[in-house]
Amino acid sequence: MRLLFIGDVVGRAGRSIINAELPKLRAAWGLDFVIVNGENAAGGFGITEAVCDEFLAAGADCVTLGNHAFDQRDALVFIARQPRLIRPVNYPRGTPGRGANLIEAASGARVLVVNVLGRVFMDALDDPFAAIERELKACPLGIGCDAAVVDFHAEASSEKQAFGYFVDGRVSLVVGTHTHVPTADCRILAQRTAYMTDAGMTGDYDSVIGMDKEEPVRRFTTKLPTSRFEPASGPATLCGVAVELDAQGLATQVAPVRIGGRLAEARPAFW
């Protein structure tokens, strides 16, 4: 199975490169399953139903979220009726939507997608380690699903790495989101789970983590907010990670993906 995970899409610039590149990548690479993190896709904060539908129409099979999951008010309503939109599983009981779902790939394979929110330097939610343990017991790899992907939306690289080792051999891919900078540690762990600390941002890198530079710099230098954060609107880079899986749903190859914009290009050599 061929999987592509695309990191946090920020604003219109990020959406534009998804619409331009994802259909071509899906065809050229023969992708079986694509996940897009869309928690910053609508104006830099949250997601709307129209934006979610736009990603699915472009070729995404699933859209994950994070700590900005409900920044757009209509997300509270449409998330309940959209089974391909996944919010963090460790939100409190009664939160609208799903933290995990089993979604059919183009090949007919069953892919478990789980979105988990970290706790270090983040809002204090339920224990992410206990939450993933429950999900994997309910739907174990090779029995309940043919592949399992975890979007671990967290700030601290130490928490992300510990989480990767905790589920090694029990999921196909653990990929970090939230910090918006692609890391250089894309690898396959000892028990054959693919891992990357952060997939990076899909947006304009002439920015401060996707936002126009002026206001963040002003706030750091004066400690005074003078205007709203606005997403940068220049040429975007599509960032993510590509993974090839074997019949057991474990990783055989993994590589970073960077296309367009300002970062050095990276494409999987094995596709």
Which positions make up the binding site for Fe cation?
8, 39-40, 67, 153, 178, 180
Residue pointed to by tokens 């619409």: 19
Instruction: Say which of 12, 68, 84, 258 is annotated catalytic.
Output: 68
Walk across the sheet containing 238-245 and list its strands: 85-86, 62-64, 33-37, 2-6, 238-245, 251-259
Q: Which amino acid is present at 254?
A: V
Could you write out the three-class secondary structure of the chain?
CEEEEECCEEHHHHHHHHHHHHHHHHHHHCCCEEEEECCECCCCCCCCHHHHHHHHHHCCCEEECCCCCCCCCCHHHHHHHCCCEECCCCCCCCCCCECEEEEECCCCCEEEEEEEECCCCCCCCCCHHHHHHHHHHHCCECCCECEEEEEEECCCHHHHHHHHHHCCCCCCEEEEECCCCCCCCCEECCCCCEEECCCCCEECCCCECCECCHHHHHHHHHCCCCCCCCECCCCCEEEEEEEEECCCCCEEEEEEEEECCCCCCECCCCC
Q: Is the dihedral of CA 257, 263, 269, 271 positive or negative?
A: positive
- Active-site residue flag, 68: yes
Residue of 196, 199, 251 whose CA lies nearest to 39: 199
User: Active-site residue numbers?
Assistant: 68
